[in-house]
Structure 1
Amino acid sequence: MASPAKVIPFSEPPWLAGLPSPYFNESHRKWQKVCREFIGKNLHENALQWEDEGEVPPEVFQKFTEANMLIPNLPAPLPVEALNRLGIYELPGGLRLEDFDYLHFYVYVNEIRRAGLAGPPNSVIAGMAYGVPPILKYGSKELQDRFLPDLMRGGKRICIAITEPGAGSDVANIQTTAKKSPCGKYYIVNGSKKWITNGVWSQYASMAVRTGGPGRTGLSLLVVPLLGHEGVSMRRLKNSGAATSGTTFIELDDVKVPVENLIGEEGQGMKMIMTNFNHERLNIAIGVTRSARVALSSAFEYVMKREAFGKALIEQPVVRHRLAKAGAELESLSAWVEQFVYMMTKLKKEDADRELGGLTALAKAKAGMVLDECVRTAVLLFGGNGYTRSGQGEVVEKLYREIPGARIPGGSEDVLLDLSIRELVKHFRAQSAALDKPSKL
């Protein structure tokens, strides 16, 4: 593949900068071009303006839905049979559903975060990425038939609702209750959920609730109606970054939910939540790596032209030193994420959850650290422009406010660092026990 005429250092992963890759084939390259054209036209052209205004127009979501451009947010391999029943047989560019793998997913997430910001993409994709998968993976056919047609065609929206004011990364401490009514036909849901992305626009939530006693074994997942439903009140929250994500506080007061809305079985919620977290954390790691590229390459381009003390900033050794340190972190992370995604294409989902669960947590945590390094480097090199909400440093200033949004959601950093090692130890001990077990002759 011939090298493009001009690629700003660190702006693209090596396989898009003209260098060879063992992972990406012609299908992935064709898909990348399709994604860049569609997402660039329908999202990125106005992303900065929308983030300033705090709202992405509703028609953007509809455009993505009508083009089947929300489907790539689902875990690979795609649920071909379920999608076929809805009349969906391929993705834009003629990509067959059967051919979609985690490298196609990687390409999609890379492109949707190419403007750097998390808010505008999250306003469109979060429900499909995190709210729909539990229904697809664990929901009964009856549950899928009731909800998926509207959700897949954009008639209704959904969110994932796990976090509460007193239970974030500590999922086992969730307090929202779902108790069966005397007639046995409903769950009566009481509690609150906080920092719920897209909640304010969603008719439904895949919600973690307590149907049993304390701890992880008392948790279940339930499709809870939101917008316009009796007993539900929602208000939008303002965060330091990602203004367009629709972050929501949800209060639930004796909300009646049909028992048929249970996802899977009672008491199995923790397992479903953790499996869903693996997909979310990988999504975050890929997207945050792209945002780090946007920050560092913007700074690189700036110091090539910005002059101080009679010469371009790039001629200053201290500037090159800062770029080198951040760049090494970025390219190391990028190579790890690509390798990680490749392994996902070769493992069955249940094997990947077991083998890679701890490493997924570690990758997500590391991505947040690298974003921090790259964005801080960019802000310092932009100087006053990096501290100003408009002008040449506008993107890196916005990204600076989004650093906590990369290091906290999906499991806060310190919790994930600890979780990663605990999972690796558990897996190692299980392997050791299996090897030490006497073989039967």
Structure 2
Amino acid sequence: MASKQLKEITVEEWPRSAILSFFAVAQLSIVGPLWDSQHNQDGDLWVIIDAKVFDLSKFSAIHPGGKAVLLADDVRGQDVTELFYSLHKSEVLLRPQYARLRKGIVKGQEEQFAPLPHGSLSPIPYGAPVVIQGILFPYYGDSHRRVQKVLRTLMDEVLRSEAQDIESSGQRISQKVFEIGGEYQLHATRLGPGKHLKGLTLVGGAVKPEEFDYFHELIIHQELARSGYRTFQDAYWVGAVIGLPPVLNFGRPEIQHIVPDIFAGKKFISLAISEAFAGSDVAGIRCTAKLSDDKKFWIVNGSKKWITNGHFSDYFSTGVRTDKGLTMLLIPRGPGVETKPIKTAYSPAAGTAYITFDNVKVPIENTLGEVNQGLKVILSNFNHERWVIVANAVQGQRNIVDAALRWASQRKAFGKPLIELAIVRAKLAQMISRAESSQTWLEHITYQMNHMTYAEQSQYLAGPMALLKQYISGVGQDTARDVTQIFGGRAITQSGLGAAVELFHRTIAYDAILGGSEDVLADLGVRQAQKFIPKNARL
């Protein structure tokens, strides 16, 4: 809200008590008569919030906190800036129903807490990776910073409001927003560098396809994760992030025609591996596929569970049991395919689904890779899937660090800001350390990904990636516990100042399960290291 759009209120229009209060804070020059009773009583009630004048005369009757709160001596006719920001977010003042209550700007005053322009960096230390803050870093160049600027503006202007809406409504992301992502080729870029990018205009031209690397992709994931809404991160094409690579890398030419529509946001795909019988234990898959008598079709029977985006997907990259092992199939939605939503700890907008296949006929050309060699297809994308989970999780922790530093600076308890309490600073120190160490380890692995083939990544990075993911999920839960203590009761409330903290705490356990459970991955990391221990190694 720009000051020039509002009428300036002079001291003659303000009650004596408010003028004295304002004088003490802002050292205003007071001229003209001082009135004792104007605008500070029931039926004629004004307040100042950050130099803006609000007429609450009618609103007081419907104030969610009750009229008595607004008629308190330290509220009616007063500058209530500090009190307001101890209870509400800045964005509240931008809502149309409250913006209409504005009368003007106090003469000679300027807003101190106006929202930053779209695309701005957080002014909070550790609120963004150091490279984004302009500090020199070896992994990033100009094209990475261009990508970051485009994504941040897109998030602030379009995607953030969509993320908020779907979190509260439970409705899937609008088709328009999916197609906006298609225009920027966000769906294609979130699959990493490769031949699938050839000929595409990426991120509004911020980076050329031949330049695109895993650090560009990392920035895209983390900028999208800035919304803080896990539902949005999962609903906005995470199904394609993990479900489309088997088609791109192992699909026959006959089925590649589905890719452009998926990139454009017109069609949707999910990875359907997990079952009630088989989570991290992929070998436990029971969903079956048998060849038809004429050998032209697979006949699929079984079920899948916890499939992200499954409820609205058009295609499913599906793991099935065949006669001598596992096989991957691309199964289109059609006769015999049924999806049911699963209620989880977050919004149903992510489309998490239970899928049943009842004598589903799948053309033989929809086989992904070789028959009975599906485990190779499944495992081939695990590194990238876990890396994506880590990228989102690290940004999630950084969001919380940013919020905690803001809140600890503005919230007063025992007569001083929380950040003046040593125990709070100790918690903040641990939260910052976790986020920064996680980001550094993530970027170290990302650099190696840029200099390895996919096969080399599988050989050398499967262990480190597994250990990184289990580390991230563990420290994330530590941070959730610490920030809950800092925010207190607000951290268990799904609205208001602590809403982001509540959501983080409620869903942080997802990171310990998705892409392989925490304990399984810790063991995998050590077993991978065990392979490289020389047989003759001794202390």
So what's the TM-score if we normalise by structure 2?
A: 0.74
Mapped pair 1:132 → 2:248: no
Q: Distance in 1 between matches of 2:385 and 2:221?
A: 11
Q: Distance in 2 between matches of 1:182 and 1:252?
A: 19
Q: Does the C-alpha gap of structure 1 residues 150 and 5 become closer, same or farther in structure 2, counting only changes over 3 Å? A: closer
Q: Where is the helix percentage greater, Structure 1 or Structure 2?
A: 1
Q: Which residue of 2 aligns with 1:198?
A: 309
Q: Which residue of 2 aligns with 1:72?
A: 189
The correspondence of residues 23-102 of structure 1 with structure 2, limited to 5 A, is 23-55=139-171, 56-80=173-197, 83-84=198-199, 88-102=200-214
Q: Which residue of 1 aligns with 2:414?
A: 309
RMSD: 1.9
Q: Distance in 1 between matches of 2:181 and 2:364?
A: 32
Q: Distance in 2 between matches of 1:78 and 1:368?
A: 32
Give the superposition deviation at 1:243.
3.7
Q: Distance in 2 between matches of 1:32 and 1:383?
A: 34
Does the Cα contact within 8 Å between 2:179 and 2:265 map onto a contact in 1?
Answer: yes
Q: Distance in 2 between matches of 1:34 and 1:93?
A: 10
Give the superposition deviation at 1:387.
1.1
Q: Deviations over 1:361-398 (max 9, x none)?
A: 11111111122122221111000111111110011111
Q: Distance in 1 between matches of 2:176 and 2:193?
A: 27
The correspondence of residues 20-419 of structure 1 with structure 2, limited to 5 A, is 20-55=136-171, 56-80=173-197, 83-84=198-199, 88-144=200-256, 146-213=257-324, 218-226=325-333, 229-419=334-524
Q: Does the C-alpha gap of structure 1 residues 359 and 78 become closer, same or farther in structure 2, counting only changes over 3 Å? A: farther
The correspondence of residues 422-437 of structure 1 with structure 2, limited to 5 A, is 422-426=527-531, 428=532, 432=534
Q: Distance in 1 between matches of 2:261 and 2:138?
A: 39
Q: Distance in 2 between matches of 1:154 and 1:268?
A: 30
Does the Cα contact within 8 Å between 1:330 and 1:374 map onto a contact in 2?
Answer: no
Structure 1 portions without partners, runs of 5+: 437-441
Larger Rg: 2
Q: Does the C-alpha gap of structure 1 residues 168 and 340 become closer, same or farther in structure 2, counting only changes over 3 Å? A: same
Give the superposition deviation at 1:78.
4.5
Moved more, 9-18 or 304-313: 9-18
> What is the identity, as a one-letter code, of the residue corresponding to 1:397?
E
Give the superposition deviation at 1:67.
2.8
Q: Does the C-alpha gap of structure 1 residues 16 and 382 become closer, same or farther in structure 2, counting only changes over 3 Å? A: same
Q: Distance in 2 between matches of 1:155 and 1:26?
A: 32
Give the superposition deviation at 1:44.
1.4
Helix, strand or coil: the match of 2:529? Answer: helix
> What is the identity, as a one-letter code, of the residue corresponding to 1:120?
F
Helix, strand or coil: the match of 1:393? Answer: helix
So what's the TM-score if we normalise by structure 1?
A: 0.91
Q: Which residue of 1 aligns with 2:96?
A: none
Q: Deviations over 1:172-220 (max 9, x none)?
A: 110000100111111000000000000111111011111123xxxx011
Q: Distance in 2 between matches of 1:156 and 1:301?
A: 40
Give the superposition deviation at 1:5.
8.9
Give % identity. 38
> What is the identity, as a one-letter code, of the residue corresponding to 1:72?
T
> What is the identity, as a one-letter code, of the residue corresponding to 2:486?
L
Helix, strand or coil: the match of 1:361? Answer: helix
Helix, strand or coil: the match of 1:351? Answer: helix
Q: Distance in 2 between matches of 1:333 and 1:177?
A: 40
Q: Distance in 2 between matches of 1:407 and 1:24?
A: 29
Give the superposition deviation at 1:39.
2.8
Does the Cα contact within 8 Å between 2:341 and 2:348 map onto a contact in 1?
Answer: no
Q: Does the C-alpha gap of structure 1 residues 192 and 410 become closer, same or farther in structure 2, counting only changes over 3 Å? A: same
Give the superposition deviation at 1:105.
0.7
Give the superposition deviation at 1:76.
2.2
Q: Does the C-alpha gap of structure 1 residues 242 and 406 become closer, same or farther in structure 2, counting only changes over 3 Å? A: farther
Does the Cα contact within 8 Å between 2:121 and 2:128 map onto a contact in 1?
Answer: no
Q: Does the C-alpha gap of structure 1 residues 147 and 371 become closer, same or farther in structure 2, counting only changes over 3 Å? A: same
Does the Cα contact within 8 Å between 2:184 and 2:202 map onto a contact in 1?
Answer: no
Helix, strand or coil: the match of 1:97? Answer: coil
Does the Cα contact within 8 Å between 1:117 and 1:242 map onto a contact in 2?
Answer: no
After the TM superposition, list the runs of 4 or more consecutive aligned residues in structure 1 that deviate by more than 6 angstroms. Answer: none
Helix, strand or coil: the match of 1:163? Answer: coil
Q: Deviations over 1:311-364 (max 9, x none)?
A: 111000000011111221221111111111111112222112211011111111
Q: Which residue of 2 aligns with 1:8?
A: 124
Helix, strand or coil: the match of 2:496? Answer: coil
Q: Distance in 1 between matches of 2:501 and 2:175?
A: 26
Give the superposition deviation at 1:302.
0.2
Moved more, 38-47 or 183-192: 38-47
Q: Distance in 2 between matches of 1:49 and 1:153?
A: 22
